[in-house]
Chain A
Amino acid sequence: MNRLRRTVLGALAAWLATPLAALAAWNESAFGAKTPQDALKGIGAANPAPSKEIVIDAPQIAENGAVVPIEISSNIPGTSSLAVVLEKNPFPLAAKFDFMEGAAPFVKLNVKMAETADVRVVATAGGRHYSATREIKVTIGGCGG
């Protein structure tokens, strides 16, 4: 068997054996980070500049930490990504959204929060990083039984 053919076949076999999951990018080191600082480093946004142009719309009090609704958007021109960091979660990085031309830097989603904490949103625009935070109190609802 010639070398080229072996290489091609080998590559093909490796491609077939690759689970679909591996084809899509998922930033394992950033999502596996255990501190907000490491999570920010993991997405290449170690020292974001504070910005008032990032909007975090969320209730100040969440009755249930399992579902905390947050609406995030950025008014910074050229925003190409938004990341959500839940500062006191065991794995702080919750999500990262990349927006191509034609998508608005806006997302509404529900996240889980382990306890009362700051939610940090990091926006990337023109290769620079910006961030804003908002505290959300997590409480106990209902009879607790």
Chain B
Amino acid sequence: MNRALARILLSLAFCAPAAAQDVKKEIERYRQMVSEGSPAELFELEGEALWKKPQGPRQASLEKCDLGLGPGVLKGAYAALPRYFKDADRVMDLETRLLHCMTTLQGRSREEATQRVFGNADRPSEMESLSAYVAAQSRGMKMAPGESHPKEKAAYELGRALYFQRAGSWDFACTSCHGEEGKRIRLQELPVLLKPENARSVAASWPAYRISTSGFVTMQWRMNNCYQQMRMPEPAFGSDTTVALIHFITVTGKGETYQGPGNKR
């Protein structure tokens, strides 16, 4: 073999894996730079205004909403969710609890309050802005969802079982994408949420600003959108299914310091 050709081949052999490594590194850099310039805080401002705005038949604000630490207590409330609520006799995540407060405090119907839970870039939903505001009040606190009540234990077990449940036109379960370490869809890396070391950063960064749609997204949206991509029918907002999955992921990722609202692809 000609020596020059051999040298080219040799360099190619070393270049190929190096190129893949560079792609990964550059994508990480991209995400880092984007998160430094995230508009997530704008949604917190909207949410604060909505929290204080009198609405519904009772013209009440949400300022007396009990998110688990007492009426109106915001600091640290998100870090302690999902948890069991005695007044509703079920485990609730942030959005489900906000919906509960909209119906009980503001006197709104479930239908009206859930009419538009997922917004878009032009108009974020009330739920999204409120989630941004409430979650931000837990920044710097350790994630500690409820784990002691029997219904909390049941929600965790249900969430874990659902994570493996294969169904739909494409036979997908959560594990189809989030089941094996180091895999990705296109360039998006996929955390295996069965493992605390992966679930921790997830639990500590949702809800989040989503770069690809310029909108703010919540965990309820994430569950809804995963089921959509799994080619399944639509899960109801705040249903036991979605709450159980969120609870399972959050419990798996507990202990991490909350740093959100974060940034997603």
Mark A residues whose CB is within 8 Å of B: 58-64, 66-67, 69, 71, 108-110, 139-145
Contact = CB atoms under 8 A, between A and B. Distances in A.
Q: Which of A59, A66, A71, A144 has the most CB of B within 10 A?
A: A59
A59 B26 contact: yes
Contacts of A140: 186-187
Contacts of A145: 228-229
B211 interface: yes
Contacts of B5: none
Interface of B is mostly: helix
B211 A66 contact: yes
B188 A141 contact: yes
Contacts of B187: 61, 63, 139-141
A61 B26 contact: yes
B30 A62 contact: yes
Interface stretch (B31-39, B85-93, B147-155): B31-39
B39 to A, nearest CB: 9
Q: How many interface residues does chain B have, given as a range?
A: 20 to 34
A60 B22 contact: yes
A61 B30 contact: yes
Contacts of A64: 211-212, 265
7 contacts: A58-B33, A59-B33, A61-B30, A63-B188, A63-B265, A69-B33, A142-B185
A142 B27 contact: no
Contacts of A61: 23, 26-27, 30, 187
Nearest to A65: B212
Contacts of B30: 59, 61-63, 69
A64 B186 CA distance: 12
A67 B214 CA distance: 9
B223 to A, nearest CB: 15
Contact of B37 (A60, A66, A69): A69
A16 B31 CA distance: 46
Interface in B59-108: none
A53 B3 CA distance: 40
B116 interface: no
Nearest to A62: B30
A143 to B, nearest CB: 5
Nearest to A144: B186
A60 B23 CA distance: 8
Contacts of B29: 59-60
Nearest to A145: B229
